[in-house]
Structure 1
């Protein structure tokens, strides 16, 4: 026997699904105590909503919210070759979405869906239910849906609404609240949402409509003309070379310098925590799940802002990031920007292992253009650094002098240097490298003998 009865609203009759704002009779009483919020009734049932507002004039830890309004997405769109519909919008036009589920399959229940939007709020003091330690405000009723963008008023708060299926039967109620929220913004921003969150939520809309065709559910990801922006692929292209794993938590730590509180919970434990909540009615662990979901959303605007700044920065980037953006620029057919970024990367990565990649890519670019002078200077500069543990620049110089400058003595010298480097670090090179170098040296020696006879 579960303890739902012990924590239920025993003295409250079943609420009217149209007019009442009271919680359902079997909702755990301590839900409102531990997770201040309010019930939202609709034709599909009753969802539970916690709304948290962050003042844009205040800082979130050491980060400033105020700069988001200045971050247009145009440069990001051009740099990463994103859909043109994102152009003309800014970070404050985005709806940031993240969900917690009972598993990874399409049949999993998205029991907690968090939605973050930039809004203009006035006279909110009377609606404050709780003041959090980080300065954010938990708001009561009256903030169910955000106002539309484009009203002309500058946003004052970043508001996160967390839609909770306090009982599995209320999934449809959560989805109905979500469809009203989702249509309020022209851009949906997620972190791995294209691969997980959005396909899962769409599947749940369609599944529930099969079983409950009378419900007013309307998949907003199909019927609302908004642009989608998944931050995970951009994070991997921009930061993976520097920080390794591009999980959201690692990006928070390595890029933003944020550390989560001890009440945070690993995402892998969240499905079990929800199942335990359903079995026992105890809400203690749900406090940690709400915190985890809220932190996922509140950091996404900051990460998006950093991405926009990186797209605009050019020479001011960290060396690894400049190198990563150069690869993006090459892939998008912008060799001029790529070469400028590679020059910046070479300067910033002085005596670091990643500098070799910058030398290799930039020299290859000049080689393909037929600009042998610049290519040769780069290979020679690469050799002069302390981090040369590859035969690549020596082989390129040997090839240049054998086939372009016809200086066979130089070609012989660089080939022998390549053989020495290969012997010094044999496990860094393919097994056939030694045979290829010996073949090259034999050919150059034969050419020199033939030239001497003539």
Structure 2
């Protein structure tokens, strides 16, 4: 948390840890308190209280281009692979909890409070979203009890950057409040790594807000607020008790969770069927690379073939990746003759990369036994290196290719 925000919280009586929270003052009374602005209720327990907003959606509620229930038709084995947790493979995905927090700082650490925690679950034939709100810091421990109870029977979490942000911060708050709850042990299907696999470089960024617009075709209303403003809004709320901006923060949190539901369905569907007619050439390439990296040869080749068939629609700056990755896949499988046309396509696009030319020189020398063509490709590789800046890398590559040409000359 930045020093200015930390100092403002300190002046309000907010300190890290349970002891510092006990005596923090309640927000000033205001005609715009949270109870009058947001549908919800006060929960009281053991002398403490907190506020929870609860909203239920029918399973066919559409968020963007998809109904919420689409995620329930996804393959749990694929969810286990993307979440890197085998236990999800045998789980009913209706047992997942969609989890997102809003905090007093964006950097994390022990001084960062999670003042709003959203938990969305499928139950009783509906999708129910509960948003646990800390009206003042003295309510934290009681609010965390409510969060823990809502998660107790869940088989895992779905988050967006939850491994790096939401879960560590929430776990720290449980620990500091002396509320034993091992949130970090939950299987966590964090959608951000998969989203980056699929969409990095295609859009301005891979933020949830960007993808819900570009991928899900969902657009938020003017009630939304930029996430970067949320910490200061909460500090202002603690000072004034005016919850009008908190109503916008609660909307923002709800939108994040609903987007996670339909984005999870979209991502799982893409990974489950990488060669669907609805996939673009770039979709197929990204999915092929994922299967390839995971050693799933059949799935990888099917997706590479689909990407190659749709290469015309592939952005020009991604075509070298298609040809190089698919050729490397075929080479690894001992199918160099099939890789040769791909190396040639790659060479035609790569003026300063000698790699495809060298691969072709090797192929024609050792596999096809056509020395003249091997020399031709080695010579092209040498031309590529001439485009490099002078230095040891250029000298080393030049020497290696020159040695190859000398050997080929002796074979003629």
Please give the TM-score of this superposition, normalised by the length of structure 1.
Answer: 0.75
2:355 is the alignment partner of 1:392: yes
For residue 262 of structure 1, report the CA deviation from its aligned partner.
2.3
8 A contact 1:326–1:338 mirrored in 2? yes
**Aligned equivalent of 1:279:** 239
8 A contact 1:342–1:358 mirrored in 2? yes
**Aligned equivalent of 2:380:** 417
For residue 286 of structure 1, report the CA deviation from its aligned partner.
0.9
Of 167, 184, 187, the match for 2:136? 167
Residue ranges of structure 2 left out of the alignment (5+ in a row): 1-25
Residues 47-446 of structure 1 mapped to structure 2, 5 A cutoff: 47-78=50-81, 80=82, 82-103=84-105, 104-120=108-124, 155=125, 157-209=126-178, 217-221=179-183, 226-240=186-200, 242-243=202-203, 245-316=205-276, 317-350=279-312, 352-383=316-347, 387-389=349-351, 390-421=353-384, 426=388, 432-433=393-394, 436-437=397-398, 440-441=401-402, 443-445=404-406
For 1:391-437, what per-residue CA distance to the aligned partner results, in whole angstroms no more than 9, with x for missing partners? 332221122223433422212222333344556x657x997347634
8 A contact 2:103–2:115 mirrored in 1? yes
8 A contact 2:388–2:394 mirrored in 1? no
8 A contact 1:345–1:355 mirrored in 2? no
Q: Aligned partners of 2:61, 2:196: CA distance in 1, in Å?
A: 30
Q: Aligned partners of 2:297, 2:64: CA distance in 1, in Å?
A: 39
**Aligned equivalent of 1:151:** none
Residues 26-65 of structure 1 mapped to structure 2, 5 A cutoff: 28-30=30-32, 31-43=34-46, 45-65=48-68
Of 337-346 and 287-296, deviating more is: 337-346
For residue 100 of structure 1, report the CA deviation from its aligned partner.
0.7
Give the direction of change, closer, same or farther, for the CA distance of 1:201–1:81 in structure 2 (3 Å limit). Answer: closer
Q: Aligned partners of 2:227, 2:289: CA distance in 1, in Å?
A: 32
Q: Aligned partners of 2:63, 2:363: CA distance in 1, in Å?
A: 55
For residue 388 of structure 1, report the CA deviation from its aligned partner.
4.2
Q: Aligned partners of 1:238, 1:255: CA distance in 2, in Å?
A: 11
For residue 50 of structure 1, report the CA deviation from its aligned partner.
1.0
8 A contact 2:39–2:53 mirrored in 1? yes
Q: Aligned partners of 2:392, 2:283: CA distance in 1, in Å?
A: 32
Give the direction of change, closer, same or farther, for the CA distance of 1:58–1:297 in structure 2 (3 Å limit). Answer: closer
Q: Aligned partners of 1:331, 1:229: CA distance in 2, in Å?
A: 19
Of 94-103 and 359-368, deviating more is: 359-368
Of 275-284 and 187-196, deviating more is: 187-196
Q: Aligned partners of 1:161, 1:69: CA distance in 2, in Å?
A: 19
For residue 38 of structure 1, report the CA deviation from its aligned partner.
1.1
For residue 445 of structure 1, report the CA deviation from its aligned partner.
4.8
For residue 326 of structure 1, report the CA deviation from its aligned partner.
2.6
Q: Aligned partners of 1:342, 1:239: CA distance in 2, in Å?
A: 17
Structure whose CA Rg is larger: 1
8 A contact 1:38–1:48 mirrored in 2? yes
For residue 167 of structure 1, report the CA deviation from its aligned partner.
1.3
For residue 194 of structure 1, report the CA deviation from its aligned partner.
1.8
For 1:190-231, what per-residue CA distance to the aligned partner results, in whole angstroms no more than 9, with x for missing partners? 11222222222222122122xxxxxxx441526xx7532222
8 A contact 1:408–1:444 mirrored in 2? no
8 A contact 1:190–1:229 mirrored in 2? yes
Q: Aligned partners of 2:289, 2:60: CA distance in 1, in Å?
A: 37
CA RMSD of aligned residues (A): 2.8
Please give the TM-score of this superposition, normalised by the length of structure 2.
Answer: 0.82
Give the direction of change, closer, same or farther, for the CA distance of 1:447–1:26 in structure 2 (3 Å limit). Answer: closer
Of 192-201 and 166-175, deviating more is: 192-201
| SS in structure 2 of the partner of residue 111 of structure 1 | strand
| SS in structure 1 of the partner of residue 84 of structure 2 | coil
Residue ranges of structure 1 left out of the alignment (5+ in a row): 1-23, 121-154, 210-216
| SS in structure 2 of the partner of residue 108 of structure 1 | coil
For residue 114 of structure 1, report the CA deviation from its aligned partner.
0.7
Q: Aligned partners of 2:268, 2:411: CA distance in 1, in Å?
A: 58
| SS in structure 1 of the partner of residue 142 of structure 2 | helix
